[in-house]
Amino acid sequence: MTDHDFRAMFEEHKDAVYQFAWRMTNSPALAEDIAQDVFLLVWRGEAELDASRGTIRSLLLGIARNLAWKHWRRDRRLSSLNDDEIAAASTAIESLDKNQALSAAVAALPPLQREALVLVTYEEMSLQEIADLLTIEVGTVKARLYRARENLKLLLAPCRPGDVRSEKEYGTAK
């Protein structure tokens, strides 16, 4: 890959990779680390972008996803990363603004549900694309997405549209 090709790819996909990592980790610093590592792995040829396996964007998100999991495993932030739990951890979101409440609620989801939700809702990937990316069955993606949404419906109940404090109100309250 030439320097020009790399720069073009970086400029085109940097926001998508960073935002995916940000939504997955709920941490700007960690998201930046992950996004940097994704592009450096590609630049050094340590992560191959095989166009036959999907779009460049989905491949970059796949690398970001793997790096996020590596961070979680290293930090032992989750007791059981492979446990596809049904109930998400409870979190207090009543006092947060809409964006913070959503961040907190999504961060409280089990990681497998979180990645399914983020990939479908924000990366606009089809169920089949996600199944290919994660090397799982489409039915498993559907089940994780369903559980994620059911958990969010419970977690975000205090934030029912209309009940959520506007950002302006939150700013003045602080």
Partner 1 sequence: MEPLNDRELDHLLTNWTAPPAPATLSRRVDHARRKPWWNWLLTGSIRLPVPLALAFAVLVIVIFVATVTRGPAKPLPHPSTPTAFQPVKRLEPRIIRSTYENSH
Number of residues in the chain: 174
Q: Is 158 near partner 1 (CB under 8 A)?
A: yes
Q: Determine the Cα–Cα distance for residues 68 and 21; give it in Å rounded to an integer.
A: 7
Residue 128 CB, shortest distance to partner 1, in Å, is: 21
Decide: is 106 part of the binding site for partner 1 (CB under 8 A): yes
**What is the contact mask toward partner 1 in residues 25 to 64, using x (rule: CB under 8 A)?**
---x---x--xx--xx--x---------------------
Residue 146 contacts partner 1 per CB under 8 A: no
CB of 134 to partner 1, least distance (A): 20
Q: What does the block give as tokens for 74?
A: 């290293």
- The answer to whether 22 contacts partner 1 (rule: CB under 8 A) is yes
With respect to partner 1, which residue has the nearer C-beta, 18 or 58?
Answer: 18
174 vs 111: CA distance, rounded Å: 31
Q: Which is nearer to partner 1, 15 or 48 (CB)?
A: 15
Using a 10 angstrom Cβ sphere, with 0-12 exposed, 13-18 middle and 19 or more buried, the burial of residue 166 is: exposed
Read out DSSP for 93-136? -TTS-HHHHHHHHHHHS-HHHHHHHHHHHTS---HHHHHHHHTS
Tell me how far the alpha carbon of residue 164 is from its chain's centroid. Answer: 23
Q: For binding to partner 1 (CB under 8 A), which residues are involved?
A: 6, 10, 14-15, 17-19, 22-23, 28, 32, 35-36, 39-40, 43, 98-99, 102-103, 106, 121-122, 149-150, 152-154, 156-161, 164
